């Protein structure tokens, strides 16, 4: 998966978990948990949905790498095979 594909998927998963989320309202380097006012259950739902869509295990120790759009896209793209 390319980084652009990963970013598009992450945005889709976020809007599924937080309906009506305006992903253009904050910087891709800004913590989206704070920007979207996601509680821990919302974030866990995001992690589970992202793991389900990518097939990646997302251990709790990696959660700090999944808090911004850019960091999350880098993480996913670096761990998924490209077609």
Mean pLDDT of 24-29: 93
Closest CA to 18 of 39, 40, 41, 42: 42
- Domains annotated for the chain, with CATH where assigned, are 3-79 (1.10.1200.10)
| pLDDT score of 82 | 73
* pTM listed for this prediction: 0.92
- Residue pLDDT, tens place only, 45-83: 999 999 999 999 999 999 999 999 999 999 999 998 875
């Amino acid at each position: 998966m390319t980084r652009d594909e990963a970013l598009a998927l992450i945005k889709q998963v976020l809007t599924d978990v937080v309906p009506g989320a305006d992903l253009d309202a904050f910087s891709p380097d800004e913590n989206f948990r704070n920007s979207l006012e996601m509680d821990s259950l919302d974030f866990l739902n995001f992690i589970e949905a992202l793991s389900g869509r990518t097939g990646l295990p997302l251990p709790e120790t990696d959660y700090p790498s999944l808090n911004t759009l850019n960091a999350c896209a880098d993480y996913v793209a670096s761990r998924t095979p490209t077609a």
